[in-house]
Each structure stands twice: as C-alpha cells, then as structure tokens.
Amino acid sequence: MTTAPMAATWHGRPAWPTKPSTISVLVRARIEDSLVAMREARDAPLAMPRLIIPLLQVNMRTGQMPPKDSAGKTYLKAPVNGL
C-alpha cells in the first residue's frame, strides 16, 4: 500500500498556498506596486525608443502595412513636431 507524501507544514498550516486564490490580494498588490515603481525608476532616464512610431502604426493596423500609394510604394508617416 502506498501513501501520499506529506505536505510541508508550518504551525499546522501548509507551508505554501495550495491555490492561487489563497494568496492575499493585498500581498499581490504590494508586489505589483513595487514592480511598477522599480520599472518606472529604471525607465525614467531612457529616451523614447527610436522606432516606436512605426511600431505603433503597424501594430494599430494588426500587423498590416499601410496601403500603397499611386506609385506603388508603402509609407509610414511620422509626426515632425509631435513627440
């Protein structure tokens, strides 16, 4: 007869959550807040990525390039005085 392995316990409780829903919402929020703060501090001195405007234009079109003009060429438009 085989027996199931015993779960690790701490003061009679499981040593780790058995379901994701048992993790405190407040703990998750605090971890998320610290991650956001760390990312914002890391990214603050960085310049905007050079290809962000073309990337957004293609992503907004679900990966499709803009239609060709009358000469058969495809152009991505970038604001001159915007960003």
Q: 48: which 2 tokens?
A: 């905007």
The pLDDT value recorded for residue 10 is: 62
Decide: 83 and 53 in contact? Cβ < 8 Å.
yes
7, part of any domain: no
Residue 23 · residue 17 · CB < 8 Å? yes
3: in domain: no
Greater confidence (24 vs 48) lies with 48
Q: Residue 51 domain-assigned? A: yes
Q: Which domain holds residue 45?
A: 22-66
Answer yes or no: pTM beyond 0.95: no
Instruction: For residue 8, tell me if it sits in a domain.
Output: no
Tell whether 34 is covered by a domain: yes
Count of the separate structural domains present in the chain:
1
